[in-house]
Homo-oligomer: A and B are copies of this chain.
Amino acid sequence: MYDGVIQDLIDELGQLPGIGPKSAQRIAFHLLDADPEDVRRFAATLVEVKAKVHFCSICGNVTVDTECRVCADPRRDLSVICVVEESKDVVAIERTREFRGRYHVLGGAISPIAGIGPDQLRIKELLQRLQDGVVTEVIIATDPNLEGEATATYLIRMLTPLGLRVSKLASGLPVGGDLEYADELTLGRAFEGRTTIGNAAVGG
């Protein structure tokens, strides 16, 4: 046990995700050694972020304005919406520079274990965005895990009757990986989704 406020700091740090007691101690001592001005700025950023950040009124992405950077950009293609679970996913997809449409951030995935059903997600808001007929394609980009797949299945069932093009990100081998290390499920999906190259008439 450390003296008063030092232990307080270690305890507070230890409550952050992925920070164990040893890391918390290490970070606390780093902060004790750090320039007081740096620590003050860090503290100020923490307070500021809570005061300023909220969700984009259109897509639900985190932002400091009323609309997020993507929704506020007039060059984005309004006819395509990519549905993701979290704001982090928006950043990951933006990094690929492959997508020029807008996003819709659900705020999670359907998970009966965590008690999250469709009503806890921003699905109503998605359906509202589709009502004016501007959007012609919805790309579902939920996580490739149990909850994400359940959410994708639910969304596909909701969206296909609306006469939109509904698509889902491809499953397959990660680029740069070794085939022999791929798990069976991924390898199976890679077979299912194989793309035909050349003229050979292969089914599937």
A65 at the B interface (CB under 8 A): yes
Q: When A46-B43, A64-B4 are in contact, do A17 and B12 touch as well, CB less than 8 Å? A: no
Asked if A12 and B36 make an inter-chain contact with CB atoms under 8 angstroms apart, the answer reads: no
- A146 CB to nearest chain B CB (Å): 20
The reply to whether B42 and A46 form a contact with Cβ atoms under 8 Å apart is yes
Within 8 A of B (CB), among A1-56: 1-6, 8-9, 12, 16-19, 23, 25-32, 36, 39-50, 52-53
Residues of chain B within 8 A (CB-CB) of A28 are 49
Residues of B close to A9: CB separation below 8 A: 45-46, 49
Copies of the chain in the assembly: 2
Please tell me if the beta carbons of B6 and A17 are within 8 angstroms of each other in the complex.
no
Q: Quick one: given A46-B9, A47-B43, A53-B6, are A86 and B31 in contact (CB under 8 Å)?
A: no
Q: Is A69 an interface residue (CB 8 A)?
A: yes
Asked if A88 and B17 sit within 8 Å, CB to CB, the answer is no
For chain A, give the interface size range.
Answer: 35 or more
In the complex, the answer to whether A26 meets B32 with C-beta atoms within 8 Å is no
Say if the beta carbon of A63 comes within 8 Å of chain B: yes
A58-78 CB contact bits vs B (8 Å, 1 = yes)? 000011110011000000000
Which residue of the partner chain, among B39, B68, B86, contacts A29 with CB atoms under 8 Å?
B86
Q: Say yes or no: A17 contacts B26, CB within 8 Å.
A: yes
Q: Please report which residues of chain A, range 65-111, place their CB below 8 angstroms from some CB of chain B when the two chains form the complex.
A: 65, 68-69, 86-88, 91, 94
B8 lies within 8 A of A45 (CB) = yes
The 3 nearest A-B residue pairs measured at CB: A43-B43, A43-B46, A3-B64
Interface residues of A (CB under 8 A from B): 1-6, 8-9, 12, 16-19, 23, 25-32, 36, 39-50, 52-53, 62-65, 68-69, 86-88, 91, 94
